[in-house]
């Protein structure tokens, strides 16, 4: 039960990943989590992350390779945030071969860019950790947190122009990756505009059927 989860920012990938690993008791291999972990022991990674720079391909690939050697992945895993580029996908294939691991499917959650922009740029957060959405989860009092009354703000990353840039980077990087998995017969397209429950049901069905 080994899967890869792809999706642009705003597709609800994080929510789905959490549900999938819970239901199917497989390991969540999130490169985001790996980076946060590596940051604690590796000052060079910490420096890159703090400067907002991308972690070089080689480091990411090695991180995932080492992770795949651990015993807990033998019962199945969900790769999330990796691979991001065609080069990474090919490197991944090499090390999967070495470890004798097979990928069962690659879920690609699809939403259009306008919907992604709507979902992300409407997010508002509070210092207490609460988060809202001006349209989908609006605070009772505009710009004020329901829980602590704090001022709600928009993350720099969530601003419309930044979101559009992130989406265009995703499109550019992921397009060859999608084609690659389509050609290998692993790609499973999921319509991410549907309700998140339906999205999860569809993904679950594929996994239950051994896809």
The yes or no reply on residue 148 touching Zn ion (CB under 5 A) is yes
Of residues 47 and 137, the one with the C-beta less far from Zn ion:
137
**Which segments of the chain does DSSP mark as H helices, in order?**
13-24, 31-41, 43-50, 57-68, 86-99, 113-121, 160-183, 196-208
Sole binder of Zn ion in the list 86, 130, 134, 169 (CB under 5 A): 130
DSSP assignment, residue 122?
A: T
CB atoms under 10 Å from CB of 1, counted, come to: 14
The yes or no reply on residue 126 touching Zn ion (CB under 5 A) is yes
Q: Exactly one of 67, 118, 119, 123 is catalytic; name it.
A: 123
What is the rounded distance in angstroms from the CA atom of residue 62 to the CA atom of residue 66? 6
Active site residue 119: no
Beta bridge partners of 189: 108
Of residues 105 and 139, the one with the C-beta less far from Zn ion:
139
Sole binder of Zn ion in the list 58, 66, 72, 128 (CB under 5 A): 128
Q: Exactly one of 36, 155, 159, 175 is catalytic; name it.
A: 155
Active site residue 23: no
What is the rounded distance in angstroms from the CA atom of residue 81 to the CA atom of residue 91? 15
The yes or no reply on residue 137 touching Zn ion (CB under 5 A) is no
CB of 19 to Zn ion, least distance (A): 26
3-class SS letters over 5-59: EECCCCCCHHHHHHHHHHHHCCEEEEHHHHHHHHHHHCHHHHHHHHCCCCCCHHH
The yes or no reply on residue 145 touching Zn ion (CB under 5 A) is yes
Q: Exactly one of 67, 118, 124, 166 is catalytic; name it.
A: 166
Catalytic residue IDs: 13, 84, 123, 155, 166
Q: Please report, as ranges, the residues that interact with Zn ion according to CB under 5 A.
A: 126, 128, 130, 145, 147-148, 150
């Amino acid at each position: 039960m080994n899967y890869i989860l792809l999706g642009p920012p705003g597709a609800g990938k994080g929510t789905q990943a959490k549900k999938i690993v819970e239901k199917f008791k497989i390991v969540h291999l999130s490169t985001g989590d790996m980076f946060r972990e590596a940051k604690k022991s590796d000052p060079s990674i910490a420096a890159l992350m703090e400067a907002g720079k991308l972690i070089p391909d080689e480091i990411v690939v090695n991180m995932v390779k080492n992770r795949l050697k651990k015993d807990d992945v033998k019962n199945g895993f969900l790769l999330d945030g990796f691979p991001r580029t065609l080069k990474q996908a090919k490197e991944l294939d090499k090390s999967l071969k070495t470890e004798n691991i097979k990928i069962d499917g690659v879920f690609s959650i699809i939403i259009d860019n306008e919907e992604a922009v709507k979902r992300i740029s409407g997010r508002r957060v509070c210092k207490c950790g609460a988060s809202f959405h001006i349209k989908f989860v609006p605070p009772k009092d505009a710009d004020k947190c329901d829980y602590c009354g704090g001022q709600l703000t928009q993350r720099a990353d969530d601003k419309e122009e930044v979101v559009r840039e992130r989406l265009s980077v995703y499109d550019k990087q992921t397009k060859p990756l999608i084609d690659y998995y389509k050609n290998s017969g692993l790609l499973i397209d999921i319509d991410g505009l549907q309700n998140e429950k339906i999205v999860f049901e569809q993904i679950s069905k594929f996994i239950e059927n051994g896809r």
